[in-house]
Chains A and B, each alone.
Chain A
Amino acid sequence: MSEVVLAARGLRKSYQSGGLRIEVLRGVDIALGAGESVSIRGESGSGKSTLLNLLAGLDTPDGGNLSWGGEPANANRRATFLGIVFQSFYLIPEIDALANVLMAARMVKAPGAVERARAQDLIARVGLAERATHLPAQLSGGERQRVAVARALMNAPKLLLADEPTGNLDEQTGDAVVELLLGLCRETQTALVLVTHNAAYAAKTGRQLFLRDGVLNGSNSVAVSSR
């Protein structure tokens, strides 16, 4: 493993709900090198989204530690260090596809010609060159998710986190989005964490992990999980 992009040790997270304490994550370890891709599978409610939010620094763990690129994770670095793709696309409805991609750059600094060119390029790479000036409402679900992928890659992050990116898409569209995601990450040497239910998509990643009973296991537990 060349350079460690993501390293988490003993991540724990529990939720208090109605007097009941649910321990969702009970010590998750994960490490990811540059350009590496892993998939995470697990039953619905097993804590995949919770884990991804912790890895993204959107939520604070109850215990354990997390580092990005060898340094402690810090919300101020999020915009430049990682990109996130969600199941829902969460595009800003008032601005067009290109502006949505540029929005990621705006979070860092006012975009100039370089950023605009990069956004144009990314829009073209996700196959939406013709639709750059369309508003989200004028795009299909698959097209919106492509915009979200381009947005996640806008700041040339070291790490891309994708939480069931095909969950709201039909099979064919989903296939295309996953291909795009994997292809772009390989091309740009971006590490990828892909949360998915689909075994075929998972098989395309470098490493397959399973979240079960609050811990992450390697591919050897395939048999247990898919019994």
Chain B
Amino acid sequence: MPWYLYLACKQLFPSGRFPFFTAISVLGVTLGVAVLIIVTSVMGGFGYEIRRMIVETEGEVDVKVTGYLSDPQDVLAQISATPGVAAATPYVKGVVGVQANSRPAYPLFRGVDVGTIERVANLGRFTNPPSAIANLDDDSVVLSSQLATSLGVHVGDKIEIYSPLLIEKLKNDEVFLPREFRVVGELYIGHQQLDSSTIYGTLRAAQELYGLGRSVHGIYVRLKPDVDEHAVVARLNTTLPRATTQAYSWMESWADFLWVLNLEKSINFFLLLFIVIIAAFSVMSSLLISVVRKTREIGLLGALGARPRDVALCFCAQAFIIGLTGTAIGVGMGFGVLAIRNDLVHGIARLMQRQETLRQFYQFSDLPSHTLTSDLVMTVVASIVISTLAGLIPAWRAARLKPVEALRSE
């Protein structure tokens, strides 16, 4: 080990006494790193939950049709035969008018093929009762809970649905009556964006409302586990007729939404990185104090034959070691807190007597956490680099000291 590394270690962790100054510098970095890991992991957890919500309501790939697909069976067969595809289900979706208790609403009506939808999606996870979608018939619907609340309807109530065909019929002076549906379940996904007012009904009901005959608007596709979705999307787009159909991965379909989610996470990351930057300032000031305090010893090192470059490395190494130690402990601490996050959240809720609020506000009563390797690597690299940079000014000050003047200083 070169002398400057040896001395850097010894100055940080002197034999025979508790390294108080070092501990404080390390603690700053530790806290910054721990908070970064906790926050990016929890935000990653929410993102992961949202991804699951999207995929479990719509599958991973959406084959969208320009206009409508009048004979879906051929395309369905073609999609199902594509390598990597596990299942496919046709859908019709469009805006309808709803009236109940004299309150109107204009939700999105999703017509799903009851026979195959559960092979692609996992809607049962979000509905009450869980079998609501599987038991749909052409006269029943499932409402998103937000919509049910705003209309004031409950399971068992009836609602009236007006389709856009109504306008056509009115033009021709025909009499048109709204269709009546029974509400057989509620759907609650748990995210504002995804929970926006939606009605699930059968494919046939939707086709009738839109006067589509046997045509559909598109096909949801579920992939086999661990298949690269972009590869499958590319494959589908080369085999399917270009003019009418186009496959999109869920990431492409939700690109704007995912971009906003990612932006939120990046902003948080950079804001929290300031904790590490502030910690780095404390590392810098404690090393600067150390340079001043050790001026005569630095002069002595010169007298013993140390080169200025090595003296600088000695202080840079100290900053690096502080950064490394702080980051290592911070990573441990971050994951430690994440491991007990639910106990913490429930404990706080219990203390404040807010357990019910918590359960109502978040659909998952447990705090999600998902650590992306890329976030972890970014946190670790950023904090070590920033801490090491904090050593540059002290190192430069130390290297600039002339041995003779340093030894003369009192």
A residues engaging B (CB < 8 A)? 53, 56, 58-59, 75-76, 78-80, 84, 86, 88, 90, 92-96, 99, 103-104, 106-108, 110, 135, 151
Contacts and interface: CB of A to CB of B under 8 A. Distances in A.
Interface in B369-410: 402-404, 407
27 contacts: A53-B404, A58-B403, A75-B305, A76-B305, A76-B307, A79-B304, A79-B305, A84-B303, A86-B300, A88-B296, A90-B299, A90-B300, A93-B14, A93-B297, A94-B10, A94-B11, A94-B14, A94-B15, A95-B10, A95-B15, A96-B15, A99-B10, A103-B3, A106-B2, A107-B3, A107-B301, A107-B306
Mostly, the B contact residues are helix
Nearest to A163: B407
Given A53-B404, A90-B407, A94-B10, A58 B303 contact: yes
B6 interface: yes
Interface of B: 1-3, 6-7, 10-11, 14-16, 296-297, 299-307, 402-404, 407
Nearest to B306: A107
Contacts of B16: 135
Contacts of A88: 296
A151 to B, nearest CB: 8
A92 B2 contact: no
B404 A110 contact: no
Contact of A106 (B3, B11, B403, B404): B3
Contact of B15 (A56, A79, A106, A135): A135
A106 B6 CA distance: 9
B248 to A, nearest CB: 61
A75 B2 CA distance: 19
Contacts of A86: 300, 303, 407
Nearest to B1: A110
Given A58-B302, A79-B305, A135-B16, A90 B297 contact: yes
A99 B1 CA distance: 14
Nearest to B296: A90
Contacts of B296: 88, 90
A30 to B, nearest CB: 19
A59 B2 CA distance: 25
B404 A59 contact: yes
Nearest to A154: B304
Contacts of B299: 90
A53 B408 CA distance: 11
Nearest to B303: A84
Contacts of A92: 7, 10, 297, 300
Contact of A56 (B11, B303, B307, B402): B303
A152 to B, nearest CB: 9
Nearest to B297: A92
